[in-house]
Amino acid sequence: MRKTISAVILGLLVGITAYAQQSKKPNIIIILTDDHAVSTIGAYCSKYGATSHIDRLAKEGALFNKAFVVNSICGPSRAVLLTGKYSHVNGMRDNRDTFDASQDVFPARLKASGFQTAWIGKWHLVSYPQGFTYWNILPGQGQYYNPDLINMQGDTIRKQGYVTDVITELTLDFLDNRDSSKPFFVVVGEKAPHRTWMPDIQDLGRFDQVNFPLPKNFYDRYTDRIAAGMQDMSIEKTMKLGYDLKMKSEPDALAASFLARMDPDQRLKWNAYYDKIDEDFRKQKLKGRELTEWKFQRYMRDYYSTTLSLDRNIGKILSYLDQNNLSKNTIVVYTSDQGFYMGEHGWFDKRFMYEESMRTPLIIRYPGVIKPGVISNQIVSNVDFAPSFLEAAGLPIPAAIQGKSMMPLLRNFKTSIRKSAYYHFYEYPGEHSVLKHFGIRTSRFKLIRFYEHKDFWELYDLEKDPNEMKNLYGLKNYRSITEDLKAQLQQLCEENKDETALKVLAQNLE
């Protein structure tokens, strides 16, 4: 009898200890937006007041000025986040690949350790998620209005409403219905503000009074930069009046199919707004630079308006955490799958290793670990996310993970976890015609190697030339720094086992 009582007490103690350890584990929410440029976020530098809730997160946590992606394109970026491995290792090199979701993804490890895990919204990896307690995803790119969602049974169900609201609703439903004795991990996969930047009805016209200044290098002529001159992502030539800018006088079948999803009320309000702009546009008969600059203004206004719902919905998630007493024990991460060009070099879209698209917003609120209001200039990469969250959850980091945990940095912002960031983009030939390239970004310099279809190097001194307008490669004064960067790049390629890049480097192109 005595023995039995001791066993019961021991059992209880073990149970209580396990519970205490479990309850100490932080919850984790990653809000992953799509194509959100740092230049449009108040906490970074935007002056237009579109992001008060994201800005709140930055005030309460840490903002990273040098957060980079390893491959600036939608699907591959999500694969890097899930695996902590570079594209050539996780197999998702470009948007045409299919992600093998059965591979070792860190949310599955969180789940196995007792987390309730979920991925909600944009997934964009072709295969279905594996290793999650719950998922509900947009097919492919998804739709802004009355979006379809694929549930865990594989059924596609249309949801009434605006996509960003729908994703938040599903997220809060998951949180409401979770097993609250367990910690949770959620990725809120936003569609916004991806092309074609379709704002919520209530936000139409909210930036029409703003005259956005043209970036200084809007009329870039791409001197010394072959790939920049070859791209097909300019506002002037590539951006379409019908598809991108919603002008019905330039009919576009895809744009029409987006509108066809709207209910009569949504469509009435949408048309009331855009038809007026279209009528005015046709009267003006713009040409040349006037036309290009009109397109730029429309692009900026639609894009910014689309981010309003995004920010409002982030506010809803933060309020939910506050109201349910979860804020103190929840890590909230705000990031995007990459950056975006807002007219810099005359462009929209991403893909290049240049700053606007290689950089991504990253804000982390982690009460008890990160002091409010930190601004970090340390280099971090999206390949570092997986090991960081595993460590935050008290789990070991598998040896096969290639990223470095950011936890030492989050505990002490003087700590540097990496000297440089590695990059490799593969999707050529492909949409927007950006050549294949890889390279290294240190705190001051960037060395890029374009290869295969055209072989050449580019070098930038980001201190002297933050807009990357002057390719310094081959200049006498930069020879020794170039040699040093090449050696560092060679070492990175070896460490990361990037055989494609190593073969290119072996060509010893001067």
Please report, as ranges, the residues that interact with Ca ion according to CB under 5 A. Answer: 34-35, 74, 337
Nearer CB in complex with Ca ion: 103/141: 141
Q: Which residue is nearest to Ca ion (CB)?
A: 74
Nearer CB in complex with Ca ion: 37/407: 37
Query: What is the smallest separation between the CB atom of 195 and Ca ion, expressed in angstroms?
Result: 9
How far apart CA 501 and CA 490 sit, in angstroms, is: 9
- Letter string b/e over residues 18-51, b meaning 16 or more CB atoms within 10 A of that residue's CB: eeeeeeebbbbbbbbbbbbbbbbbbbbebeeebb
Nearer CB in complex with Ca ion: 330/338: 338
| Bridging pattern class, strands 362-365 and 445-450 | unpaired
Which three-class secondary structure state does DSSP give residue 88?
A: helix
Query: What is the smallest separation between the CB atom of 36 and Ca ion, expressed in angstroms?
Result: 9
Nearer CB in complex with Ca ion: 35/244: 35
How far apart CA 258 and CA 261 sit, in angstroms, is: 6
Query: What is the smallest separation between the CB atom of 406 and Ca ion, expressed in angstroms?
Result: 22
Q: CB count, 10 Å around CB of 329?
A: 15
C-alpha distances in angstroms, 494 versus 488, 504, 505?
10, 12, 11
Residue 45: left (phi > 0), alpha (psi -120 to 50), or beta? Answer: alpha
Query: What is the smallest separation between the CB atom of 183 and Ca ion, expressed in angstroms?
Result: 28
Nearer CB in complex with Ca ion: 35/344: 35
Nearer CB in complex with Ca ion: 77/405: 77
CA 75 to chain centre: 10
Q: Is residue 382 within 8 Å of residue 77, measured between CB atoms? A: yes
> Within 13 A of 98's CA, how many CA atoms are on the CB side?
6
Query: What is the smallest separation between the CB atom of 124 and Ca ion, expressed in angstroms?
Result: 8
Residue 452: left (phi > 0), alpha (psi -120 to 50), or beta? Answer: left
How far apart CA 159 and CA 356 sit, in angstroms, is: 34
Nearer CB in complex with Ca ion: 34/468: 34
Query: What is the smallest separation between the CB atom of 456 and Ca ion, expressed in angstroms?
Result: 27
Query: What is the smallest separation between the CB atom of 81 and Ca ion, expressed in angstroms?
Result: 12
C-alpha distances in angstroms, 354 versus 2, 32, 71, 338, 342?
72, 21, 11, 12, 13
Q: Is residue 366 within 8 Å of residue 107, measured between CB atoms? A: no
Query: What is the smallest separation between the CB atom of 388 and Ca ion, expressed in angstroms?
Result: 21
Q: What is the DSSP letter of 240?
A: -
In one-letter notation, the amino acid at residue 371 is K
Nearer CB in complex with Ca ion: 303/366: 303
Query: What is the smallest separation between the CB atom of 445 and Ca ion, expressed in angstroms?
Result: 26
Which three-class secondary structure state does DSSP give residue 84?
A: coil
Query: What is the smallest separation between the CB atom of 336 and Ca ion, expressed in angstroms?
Result: 7
How far apart CA 429 and CA 432 sit, in angstroms, is: 9
Q: Is residue 111 within 8 Å of residue 98, measured between CB atoms? A: no
Nearer CB in complex with Ca ion: 270/348: 348
Nearer CB in complex with Ca ion: 337/344: 337
Nearer CB in complex with Ca ion: 351/437: 351
Query: What is the smallest separation between the CB atom of 337 and Ca ion, expressed in angstroms?
Result: 4
Q: CB count, 10 Å around CB of 259?
A: 16
Query: What is the smallest separation between the CB atom of 356 and Ca ion, expressed in angstroms?
Result: 13
Nearer CB in complex with Ca ion: 36/178: 36
Long-range contacts of 140-144 (CB under 8 A, 24+ apart): 141/74, 141/191, 141/194, 142/191, 143/191, 143/258, 143/261, 144/191, 144/192, 144/198, 144/258
* Strand runs labelled E in 306-455: 330-336, 362-365, 374-376, 380-381, 420-425, 437-442, 445-450
Nearer CB in complex with Ca ion: 239/390: 239
Which three-class secondary structure state does DSSP give residue 168?
A: helix
Query: What is the smallest separation between the CB atom of 401 and Ca ion, expressed in angstroms?
Result: 23
How far apart CA 415 and CA 386 sit, in angstroms, is: 19
